[in-house]
Amino acid sequence: MLPFDGEGLFFLEEVYFPLYNNKGAKTRWRPAELAICSYHGAGVRHSVATRPDYRSAYLASLIHEEWDIDAREYTSCYGRFVNDNFSSGSINCKHQPFANPDTSEMQIWVVALPGVRILPGEELYAEYGKDYWLDHLPSLSSEARRHCLQKYKYKASELTNAGLRSDGSRQSSAPSIVSFLRAPPPAPQLHSLFLHEDTISNHPTVRLHFAQPSSPRLAYDPNLSLLERRALLRDYFTSRNQRISTMFAPQMALVPSSSHSYTSASTPSTGPRSSPLTTPPNRSLNTIAEANHPQLIRATSSG
């Protein structure tokens, strides 16, 4: 028995087709005489059914390597409910392709095995074959895989070619060409898209220009609000260079004071006094601003 719950097909009456006749000669039974039920479904080309993206647990070979029957539809036939069994001596029927004698159409039927008696209430079991279980071994429990390997006696090369280990489990997935054929994912949006260059003109002779970083490296969630984006960028530059954090404080707005000295806008100026940003005779305001904030601030004179 397979170690999982499911549905099966059971016979209500005893079925037996003797292997030999009364004279001791081997009986030649026709498939139509041994037929129990049909195996109907959609016809699928074998080249399609064996593709990695084709998924069905109800494929049966109709014409070898040409056509398969897919009985995945629940009401397609009774034959789809016949299970496999890994226990020795449990198989009592099989899937038999044959040409219908009336129409010459190729069909699949579940037929009894001559010489094997099916008792009333007994479940029908048919071998699914080595190829079928090569595709489904990884989905079985370790114990079921062991019984399957013992029954079908796979060669090491067969398991390796199917991408399986010696115990029937799947190896690490091999690279697929499908991933190379897909379009590359869109590049993430960068912080340079939400901070625009800005120029502040609080005085007719001085302008303070905020430029964008030359090589942004910070990706952000496009669903963030503008304030959240600005806070994210502020934290980025603060951690990168503590000196740049001063640009977000009020003293960044430079205004001229007397004697060619420059103080912060938040500091009231009561007259000439010394300032850390006092312009030496041979240095311009542009030079001072770029020296303090070389990456983001460029102060230019319009006069």
Out of 108, 128, 148, pick the residue that ends a domain. Answer: 128
pLDDT band at 197 (very low <50, low <70, confident <90, very high): low
Decide if 289 contacts 299 (C-beta within 8 A): yes
Q: Are residues 195 and 297 in the same domain?
A: yes
Tally of domains in the chain: 2
> Bridge-partner residues for 170, per DSSP?
164
Token pair, residue 154, equals 């796979």
- The amino acid at 96: Q
| 45 pLDDT above the threshold of 80 | yes
| 267 pLDDT above the threshold of 50 | no
Q: Among 293, 198, 286, which residue's Cα sits nearest to residue 246?
A: 293
For residue 303, with 0-12 CB atoms within 10 Å meaning exposed, 13-18 middle and 19 or more buried, which class applies?
exposed
Token pair, residue 282, equals 């041979």
pLDDT at residue 61 in the model? 92
Phi, psi of 64 (to 5 degrees): -50, 120
Q: pLDDT by residue (tens digit) across 57-91? A: 999 999 988 999 999 999 999 999 999 999 989 99
Domain range for 92: 31-128
Q: Are residues 220 and 123 in the same domain?
A: no
pLDDT at residue 280 in the model? 44
Q: What is the pTM of this model?
A: 0.54
Phi-psi label, residue 230: left if phi above 0, alpha if psi -120 to 50, beta otherwise: alpha
| 258 pLDDT above the threshold of 50 | no
Out of 105, 128, 151, pick the residue that ends a domain. Answer: 128
Out of 80, 107, 128, pick the residue that ends a domain. Answer: 128
39 lies in a domain?
yes
pLDDT at residue 262 in the model? 39
Task: Look up the CATH number of the domain holding residue 86.
Answer: 2.170.270.10
Token pair, residue 301, equals 């004179």
**177 secondary structure, DSSP code:** T
Give the span between the Cα atoms of 19 and 215, in whole angstroms: 84
| Vertex 14: Cα angle to 9 and 19 (nearest 5) | 105
Q: Among 147, 145, 193, which residue's Cα sits nearest to residue 167?
A: 145
Hey, is 178 helix, strand or coil? Answer: helix
Percent of the chain scoring above 90 in pLDDT? 35
